[in-house]
Amino acid sequence: MENINFNFVINGADIEEIKFLSQILYLSLLNENYNTSIAIKSLSNISNYNFSSSLIKIGSTRSAVCAKNINALVSLDYQSIVNYLEFFDSSTIVLVNYSKFNICNYFLSDNDNVDKNIKQKTANLLKIPVEKIANIDLMGKNKVSPNISLLGALSAKSGIIDLNNITSVLASMAKNDAEKKNYINALIAGYDFANS
């Protein structure tokens, strides 16, 4: 385990969502005996929307904040990825929630340019229609944030987190059986989408 250095970045407008996702990631990484560290911070204020990100670093615990290379980026918006373009490598995995209209679309409406810019840097771009996959309508009363399927895709692409490991973490976090079922279904849907 000492030879692994891995930087995740979770990016988006919703702080609580990011906290939640990073919590799950952190717990499941701890389960696999990685040295992990987390830094969560808000980047800028655009009309009352806090853009925030969390950086999760595996390997050395010296500096969590200054990561030069991002190995995997999980983003709740599509167009705010542009902020991270400098840190991309040829092998960085980019997983994006591509299902709903974001605040970013309002300001930067040119999607094609963003596509070009990202594809110059990496080939591993996955736009995931999260809400379609996770089937929010089927969830019933115990609805669960569909962004969990992003984590499923992450485990499929990066391979650093075991699928069964995340599910056990999610199952322990769920309040009841119905919620647990929804969590796991969303996660598996993301995994299958990334693999297909």
Minimum distance from residue 52 beta carbon to another protein (Å) = 26
Is residue 69 a contact partner of residue 7, using CB atoms and an 8 Å limit?
Answer: yes
Looking up tokens 């980047």 gives 43
Interface residues with another protein (CB under 8 A) are: 3-6, 69, 71, 91, 137-138, 140-141, 156-160, 163-164, 167-168, 171, 177-178, 180-181, 184-185, 188, 191-192, 195
Structure-block tokens of residue 128: 């995931």
Q: Which is nearer to another protein, 60 or 120 (CB)?
A: 60
Q: Which is nearer to another protein, 71 or 102 (CB)?
A: 71
Does residue 32 come out as left (phi exceeding 0), alpha (psi in the -120 to 50 range) or beta? alpha
Minimum distance from residue 192 beta carbon to another protein (Å) = 7
Q: Which is nearer to another protein, 114 or 189 (CB)?
A: 189
Minimum distance from residue 176 beta carbon to another protein (Å) = 9
Minimum distance from residue 69 beta carbon to another protein (Å) = 7
Tell me which residue of 50, 58, 57 sits closest to 12, measured CA to CA: 50
Can you point out the beta strands (E) in 47-114? 49-58, 72-75, 93-97
